[in-house]
Structure 1
Amino acid sequence: MPQTWSLDWSHGQVTVHAGAAALGRTRFRLDDGRFVEPFHEAPWITAGETVEPGLGNLRGDWPCLPFGRLYGSDDPLVGAWRGLVDAPLPQAADPLGPSDHLLHGYSAASEWKLMSLTREVITLDLDYPGDSPIERITRTIRPIDGQAGLDVSVEIQARRPCVRPFGFHPNFALRGNPGSFRIEPGPYRFGLSHPVAEAAARAEPDRKFTTLAEVAVKSGGHERFDRLPFADDREDILQLCGIEGGVHLVDEHDRVAWDLSWDTAKLPSCLLWMSNRGRKFAPWNGRHLCVGVEPVASAFDFGSAIAAADNPIALAGVRTAITLEPGTPLTLGWRIRGHALAPS
């Protein structure tokens, strides 16, 4: 069995897996005494199915370095993004190594080692391959004593200067009826729909928006993208660029509100992965339902080359990658806190 480590505190229990250092089942005790589990676990995990390493730990959250994957000429990018696929590799990203080709990077496909387990904190670390400009990443899970909350962070050390996209990947379960889960982001400069012509997506690709309540769709007009789950099957990705503060989430089914916050100066966007039974191929098989609310410095999920290039988000003044230097560790993190909703 894969290794896991758990920690109890005044307001819950958290479990971390060696695979991808992923958050497993995490229980929070709310102020009304109820226990809730907000995070998602992929159905193939529950069913005990064997899948590729990049998907085998699709749970509550894991760090992605580099974030996304490398897109190629076979991927149907649209607009100005299309020209970035075959563009020369930006100097800041050169050279790319094998770990840059993995889905969400070496961190998502590897077994991490436990460094420390105390009553207050779980710490894991991972050494990157010698051909990577990343030397080591350390992940810390620290419950907030006296609160239904967690602090999650990483420290990244580089062996060579590099620029890479980075993101956390918090995934929230959608257990209620259509529209019962609300997304209320903090202020952001602009939103952008995924610039990829995907049949399973409902949003019109590569379209800007100012509110999740009004996003252009392929069938014409606009629809709400702030009320989940959707009644129809779809797979949509939206990026909130230049966000401030974080995101407020309201789950009417579990009668709980979550505040997700992070240092938006370091991770200036929020990627929303709305996986609503839209992927019909294995192992998804039309059964995957969750929303990823992901603090990122990235250009969607396009990987290191496009993130380091003069892509449309970066040209608009929103950074799409982190800069790493040897001898100067970079710390990134996010916090979640839960509050019970008043009885309806």
Structure 2
Amino acid sequence: MENWRKSLAASVDERDGPLDASDDLLHGYACVGEWTLVRQTKHSIEIALEYPPESSIARVVRVVRADPDSPAIDFSVKIEARRSTRRPLGLHPNLALPSMAGAMQIHTGAFRFGVVHPGGPEPGVSRAAPGAVFERLDHVPLRAGEAAAFDRLPFAHDTEEIIQLCGVDGSVTLTNEESQVTCRLTWDASVLPSLLLWISNRGRTYSPWNGRNLCLGVEPVASAFELGCRPSLAQNPINARGIPTAVALEPGRPVEMAYRFEIVTP
């Protein structure tokens, strides 16, 4: 845990440029900025977001396209830099969990190791051992000293958990046994080498969740959890193991992240 404390308190390397107010926003400026419609067709939509002039990021362009020939949606996010820098990047797909305990099964591709959120996303509620490292999703260490399976959701108990699978292969398949639907998310793991799993299992009793939220965030990232720029840019227990927690950005060389959600038939 001491390594995480050092990462949270670290200063930003001058080679990454100064951070501005938009860098300190939870989940980034793209979640709060006003997007503009660029074009729209029968099967696709393209939107763009101009970043504040003081930001190292100039513009983000997002395209969503429904595949006319299969039950799938293709997405892309292009990031244009104003100056040379590095930033943590990530995607934030959310899926509703079934009501029946254990009815959603997570089939991950290969990953090098997993890490439990260092602080616990909900103090006094989260049960996974903060900062613990694990190798299997069905054997995640708990605060109490045992281990539990995190590959079947929702849990029977109320909780809030975040774990990060590092060194992934860019694929995860989720089977909802209640609805008999299986979907697959694929992405470019050379850009986003980790998968963040946000398990909101009725563990937040305050507004707006009110003890009712039951969802799974399935989030490809190059970051240190959702802890923001400073710990992601600094040395931390994830990048110390060789897994990048930020992406290099250069003016005139946009970084593009593509991903695809599809329904998988038996």
Tell me if TM exceeds 0.5: yes
Residues 92 and 320 (structure 1), Cα distance of their counterparts in 2 relative to 1, 3 Å cut: farther
Q: Does 1:135 align with 2:58?
A: yes
Q: What residue number does 1:120 align with?
A: 43
The separation in 1 between residues aligned to 2:84 and 2:161, in whole angstroms, is 34
Name stretches of at least 5 consecutive residues in structure 1 with no aligned partner. 1-77
Q: Partner of 2:230: helix, strand, or coil?
A: helix
Q: Does 1:88 align with 2:11?
A: yes
Q: Does 1:79 align with 2:25?
A: no
Of 191, 210, 231, the match for 1:266: 191
> Aligned residues: percent identity?
45
Q: What residue number does 1:183 align with?
A: 106
User: Which string of whole-angstrom CA distances, capped at 9 and with x for unpartnered residues, describes residues 40-62 of structure 1?
Assistant: xxxxxxxxxxxxxxxxxxxxxxx
- Mapping of 1:16-165 within 5 angstroms? 78-165=1-88
Instruction: Give the AA of the match of 1:301.
Output: E
Q: What residue number does 2:178 align with?
A: 253
Of 208, 218, 227, the match for 1:293: 218
Residue 93 of structure 1: CA displacement? 3.5
Contact 1:93 1:305 in 2 (8 A): no
The separation in 2 between residues aligned to 1:177 and 1:281, in whole angstroms, is 23
Contact 1:173 1:290 in 2 (8 A): yes
Instruction: Give the AA of the match of 1:315.
Output: A
The separation in 2 between residues aligned to 1:100 and 1:291, in whole angstroms, is 25
Q: Does 1:212 align with 2:118?
A: no
Residue 90 of structure 1: CA displacement? 2.3
What is the aligned residue count? Answer: 264
The separation in 2 between residues aligned to 1:332 and 1:284, in whole angstroms, is 30
Residue 210 of structure 1: CA displacement? 0.8
Q: What residue number does 1:171 align with?
A: 94
Moved more, 90-99 or 239-248: 90-99
Instruction: Give the AA of the match of 1:157.
Output: E
Name stretches of at least 5 consecutive residues in structure 2 with no aligned partner. none
Contact 2:104 2:174 in 1 (8 A): yes
TM-score normalised per structure 1: 0.75
TM-score normalised per structure 2: 0.96
The separation in 2 between residues aligned to 1:282 and 1:248, in whole angstroms, is 31
Contact 2:11 2:234 in 1 (8 A): no
Residue 281 of structure 1: CA displacement? 2.1
Q: Does 1:325 align with 2:259?
A: no
User: Which string of whole-angstrom CA distances, capped at 9 and with x for unpartnered residues, describes residues 56-105 of structure 1?
Assistant: xxxxxxxxxxxxxxxxxxxxxx3310112222222344301010111111
Contact 2:78 2:255 in 1 (8 A): yes
Instruction: Give the AA of the match of 1:134.
Output: I
Q: What residue number does 2:261 align with?
A: 336
Q: Partner of 1:323: helix, strand, or coil?
A: strand
Residue 340 of structure 1: CA displacement? 4.2
**Runs in 1 of length 4+ with deviation above 3 angstroms?**
none
Instruction: Give the AA of the match of 1:207.
Output: A
User: Which string of whole-angstrom CA distances, capped at 9 and with x for unpartnered residues, describes residues 266-317 of structure 1?
Assistant: 1000000001111122222211110000010011111111111111111111
Q: Partner of 1:126: helix, strand, or coil?
A: strand
Residue 245 of structure 1: CA displacement? 2.9
Q: Does 1:303 align with 2:228?
A: yes
Contact 2:80 2:254 in 1 (8 A): yes
The separation in 2 between residues aligned to 1:109 and 1:92, in whole angstroms, is 27
Q: Partner of 2:62: helix, strand, or coil?
A: strand
The separation in 1 between residues aligned to 2:200 and 2:15, in whole angstroms, is 32
Residue 325 of structure 1: CA displacement? 0.5
The separation in 2 between residues aligned to 1:249 and 1:242, in whole angstroms, is 19
The separation in 1 between residues aligned to 2:32 and 2:70, in whole angstroms, is 32
Q: What residue number does 1:241 align with?
A: 166
